[in-house]
Every structure is written in structure tokens, then in C-alpha cells.
């Protein structure tokens, strides 16, 4: 079975791993084609990426910054399961989802407007690997694309970042926001 990686800002990965964020917002890019991004995989490893500008584009207290350059290795620490994925074409819904992510409002608006007012949003359940999976950074992991085929993953023990009760609370919050703004 192939292992899939999802490229995401390292700061967002950290927030997901700390339980501060429960959704992923994605606009899509050149590699996703005219239809934009879709959550084509229901489970994947989070593949952290970093560039210095991320710091100004998030709302969070930064306790530790990731290294500023891609190193020779990539440390995979988190695994995600998509619990609900939607394509949202309402700025009101996107704005109301702010408590569930760390992105700055202007970044969210910019992403929303990129494809004429539409974003893909996924509520995700995050699991932390008991031991990080260290990959050698390869040229094939570069580029502006969301999905990566990774080497076969070794068997890993994983634990949920949020308790079942805390996760269900986030799920109820997500569902209420999406439903209330559609009425």
C-alpha cells in the first residue's frame, strides 16, 4: 500500500499537532488544474513545509519555529484522517470557521478569492506518531503541489491528538457553523 503525504505549512502542522487547529483550508494551485484542489485521499501523512513568510500569515503564539530551510531530512510526525470534506463557496462560512484554524483573515480571504470564491475545507482527525518518521529530503518532494507519493511507511503506533470528547466537540462546532450559515 502506498503512503501519501500532504504538503502543509509547518506552522499549520504544529497547530494541528497541538490540537489548536481542526480543519485544513486549501485553494489549490497550478498543479491542481482548473477545478482546483480536492481532498482525493481520506488518510495521509502531514508533510511539513516551511518558508519564512508563514510567520506573518498565521494567528498563533509561536513557541518554537521550524528550521528556516529544507534540511536533508523531513520529519513526519502527524497523520490525518479526513472526517468531512466540503467545497465551500460562501465567504460567510469560511469566516465563521476561524476558531478552527490559525490562518490570518487576509490569507483566508486571498485563498477564497483565488478560484472565484471557493475553498476546499476538511475537518480532520489528527494522530501523532509515537516515533517520528524521518525521510531523506528528495527533489521529487519539491514543487507547488499538495500530494506526494512517499516511500512505504514503516508500521507506526499512533495516538489521537485530541481525546474523543474534545474531537466530537470540534466536530459539532464545525457542523453547526456549516449548517447555520447555509440556512
Q: What is the mean pLDDT of residues 85-104?
A: 93
| Residue 87 CA neighbour count, 13 Å, CB half | 12
Expressed as residue numbers, the domain containing 89 is 3-182
Distance between CA atoms of 27 and 118, rounded to whole angstroms? 7
Distance between CA atoms of 7 and 45, rounded to whole angstroms? 9
Give the pLDDT confidence of 49-87 residue by residue, as tens digits: 876 556 667 677 655 555 544 568 889 999 999 999 999
C-alpha cell at 116: 472565484
Q: How far is CA 173 from CA 119, 121, 135, 146, 168, in A?
A: 19, 14, 35, 26, 9
Give the pLDDT confidence of 119-158 residue by residue, as tens digits: 999 999 999 999 999 998 888 887 777 899 999 888 889 9
pLDDT band for position 33 (50/70/90)?
A: low
Burial status of residue 74 (CB atoms within 10 A of its CB: 0-12, 13-18, 19 or more): buried
Task: Pick the closest to residue 136 from 75, 68, 51, 46 (CA basis).
Answer: 75
Mean pLDDT of the chain: 85
C-alpha cell at 159: 495516538
Q: What is the dihedral of CA 70, 127, 173, 113, to 10 degrees?
A: 30
Number of domains in the chain: 1
Is residue 66 helix, strand or coil? coil
Using alpha carbons only, how large is the chain's radius of gyration in Å?
A: 16
Q: What is the mean pLDDT of residues 37-50?
A: 91
Amino acid at each position: 500500500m502506498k503512503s501519501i503525504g500532504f504538503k502543509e505549512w509547518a506552522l499549520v502542522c504544529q497547530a494541528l499537532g497541538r490540537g489548536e487547529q481542526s480543519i485544513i483550508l486549501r485553494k489549490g494551485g497550478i498543479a491542481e488544474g482548473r477545478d482546483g484542489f480536492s481532498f482525493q485521499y481520506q488518510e495521509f501523512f502531514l508533510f511539513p513545509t516551511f518558508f519564512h513568510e508563514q510567520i506573518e500569515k498565521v494567528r498563533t503564539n509561536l513557541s518554537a519555529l521550524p528550521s528556516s530551510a529544507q534540511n536533508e531530512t523531513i520529519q513526519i510526525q502527524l497523520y490525518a484522517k479526513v472526517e468531512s470534506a466540503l467545497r465551500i463557496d460562501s465567504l460567510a462560512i469560511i469566516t465563521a470557521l476561524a476558531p478552527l484554524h490559525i490562518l490570518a483573515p487576509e490569507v483566508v480571504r486571498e485563498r477564497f478569492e483565488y478560484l472565484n470564491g471557493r475553498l476546499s475545507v476538511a475537518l480532520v482527525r489528527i494522530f501523532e506518531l509515537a516515533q517520528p518518521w524521518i525521510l531523506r529530503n528528495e527533489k521529487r518532494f519539491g514543487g507547488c503541489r499538495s500530494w506526494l507519493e512517499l516511500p512505504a511507511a514503516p508500521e507506526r503506533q499512533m495516538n489521537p491528538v485530541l481525546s474523543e470528547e474534545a474531537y466530537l466537540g470540534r466536530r459539532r462546532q464545525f457542523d453547526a457553523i456549516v449548517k447555520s450559515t447555509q440556512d
